[in-house]
Amino acid sequence: MMEDYRRRQDIVGNQVQRMMEDYRRRQDIVGNQVQRMMEDYRRRQDIVGNQVQRIIEDYRLRQDVVSNQVQRMMEDYRRRQDVVVAQEARSAVDYLANRNFLASVSHLTRQVRDWAKLAEDAVSGLTSSRLSSELFAKAHETWAAGTTSLLKGGTERGLWADNAAFGLRIASLPTAYSSFCQTALRALGGADDKRTMNALIGSVNLAELHFTRASEILPSVLEPPIERHRQGEPGPMRLYVVQHADLAAVPTIEDPENVTELVRKSPAAGAAAQVLEMLRLIPQVNSAAKISGRGEILKPTTRMIEAMLDLVALVPSNRAAFADFIDCVYWLFYEGAGKDNLRYLSANGGPYSEKDCEVIWAIKTFRNKWYRHDPDHGEATSVKRSYRALREALERFGFAHLPGNAGDYRQLHMLLVNELVRFLEGLRDRLT
């Protein structure tokens, strides 16, 4: 009995020993796993820390580039102003130019300060997935590069110093982009559902796409005008806000990084892309005309340059905004092309017949028979002709009546822009 007892005790002891050894091994495994987790955590923290450092360094470099460009713009302006003062040619126009220039600088310096504040928030909130440092860095890089391009182009062509009203208009685009991105990025910090977050992220991506493209195209189309003309105030640039509203209204956004999906779901983005394509074609048409031995078809007047800048982020969703759009394309394609002696018509040495220019006649009709003039003014036969011309212009674009809501105005805007793109493509090709 004693021997059996001892054997059983030895068995139990061995089992306890094995259990203890197994426990120690498991503890060692857990300890090693914890150690590896801590090491991985430290590595990730180091990576985040390095990313933060790079973001801050890149941010400072971009801010310095923009600030230096603003400084050069101011120095160029002062030099030219000194010449004006020396010539004792101060006037109300000069005073207005000075005021516009100071407003432009104020817009730009305010943006620099606002981005600095957002940078602090982005860096301090890096552990949160809400205010993404990557989104901030990308948006700021886009703003800095685009603003630098616009400032450089405007300074090189003398638009800031010679015509400060143009400078104010040019500064309005980075102001609109900067303001929207900062608002959207902060809103992202408070978003609590995927649909809202995707709409915000998608709208920032659409804004980046448009602003980048606009800052590439505008420097190539902006030229000092052939005459001086006092300008009005720049209109509101609502594009980026409307693009977000478009995306927020759709049930789902599968991928807020997929630009094709985003443009398909935002009519405003599609129309804005076509407006930029239309502007890009204008210098191509003029180059083709000069190569063929002709003069420029679309000459840069003050109103024409003003119209190009206003068209970039214009979303005509009501009668007043649509009338502004019609004014812009009227200055571009009718006044800027010779008005009563249109340079693209065969009668004036151009390649187009009157039939080829139906979109131009439609624009002229919309402006002269409705949006800027009263069609009921005049004799009965004249009034009847006006309404008939207006009806035919509307029917050409599939409308049986005048636009009555935001959807109608935006649809007609898109149809007109698409046809103007085709008009310019055909004009360029026939001149080549």
Lowest mean pLDDT of 50-54, 157-161, 170-174, name the range: 50-54
* Cα of 279 vs its chain's centroid, Å: 14
What's the CA dihedral at 285, 286, 287, 289 to 10 degrees?
90
Could you tell me which of 147, 268, 141 has the C-alpha nearest to residue 202? 268
Residues with Cβ within 8 Å of 212's Cβ and at least 6 positions away in sequence, in order, are: 142, 145, 146
Could you tell me which of 185, 179, 79 has the C-alpha nearest to residue 123? 185
What's this model's pTM, rounded to 2 decimal places? 0.77
User: Mean pLDDT, to the nearest integer, of 274-296?
Assistant: 95
Higher local confidence (pLDDT), 51 or 105: 105
| Total Cβ atoms within 10 A of residue 195 | 14
User: Mean pLDDT, to the nearest integer, of 345-358?
Assistant: 95
* Residues 324 and 235: beta-carbon distance below 8 Å: yes
| pLDDT at residue 288, as a whole number | 95
For the chain, how are helix, strand and coil distributed in percent, rounded to 5?
80, 0, 20
DSSP letters of 180-242? HHHHHHHHHHH--SHHHHHHHHHHHHHHHHHHHHHHHHHHHH----SS-----PPPP--HHHH
User: Mean pLDDT, to the nearest integer, of 72-77?
Assistant: 58
User: Mean pLDDT, to the nearest integer, of 78-97?
Assistant: 44
Q: In whole angstroms, how large is the CA radius of gyration of the chain?
A: 31
> Mean pLDDT, the chain, as a whole number?
79
User: Mean pLDDT, to the nearest integer, of 114-128?
Assistant: 64
- Give the chain's end-to-end CA distance (angstroms, integer): 115
| Locus of tokens 């090189």 | 156
List phi, psi (to 5°) of 409.
-60, -45
Residues with Cβ within 8 Å of 181's Cβ and at least 6 positions away in sequence, in order, are: 139, 143, 204, 207, 208, 240
Task: Tell me the CA distances in angstroms from 242 to 215, 234, 239, 429, one per residue in order.
Answer: 20, 18, 5, 34
Q: How many helices (H) and strands (E) does the chain have?
A: 14, 0
What's the CA dihedral at 4, 6, 11, 14 to 10 degrees?
-170
Instruction: Give CA angle at 122 (121, 123), nearest 5°.
Output: 95
| pLDDT at residue 169, as a whole number | 81
Higher local confidence (pLDDT), 233 or 416: 416
Residues with Cβ within 8 Å of 190's Cβ and at least 6 positions away in sequence, in order, are: 130
State how far the Cα of 168 lies from the Cα of 306, in Å rounded to an integer.
11
Higher local confidence (pLDDT), 237 or 28: 237
State how far the Cα of 285 lies from the Cα of 432, in Å rounded to an integer.
9
* Residues 80 and 162: beta-carbon distance below 8 Å: yes
User: Mean pLDDT, to the nearest integer, of 414-425?
Assistant: 97
pLDDT at 417 over 90: yes
State how far the Cα of 360 lies from the Cα of 423, in Å rounded to an integer.
9
pLDDT at 346 over 90: yes
pLDDT at 126 over 70: no
What's the CA dihedral at 240, 136, 256, 314 to 10 degrees?
10
| pLDDT at residue 94, as a whole number | 47
162-204 tens-digit pLDDT: 566 677 788 889 889 989 998 998 888 788 889 999 999 999 9
The residue extents of the domains of the chain are 39-266, 316-431
| pLDDT at residue 112, as a whole number | 75
User: Mean pLDDT, to the nearest integer, of 80-88?
Assistant: 43
Could you tell me which of 114, 14, 2 has the C-alpha nearest to residue 66? 114
Lowest mean pLDDT of 88-97, 118-127, 187-196, name the range: 88-97
| pLDDT at residue 127, as a whole number | 39
DSSP state of 158: T
User: Mean pLDDT, to the nearest integer, of 85-94?
Assistant: 41
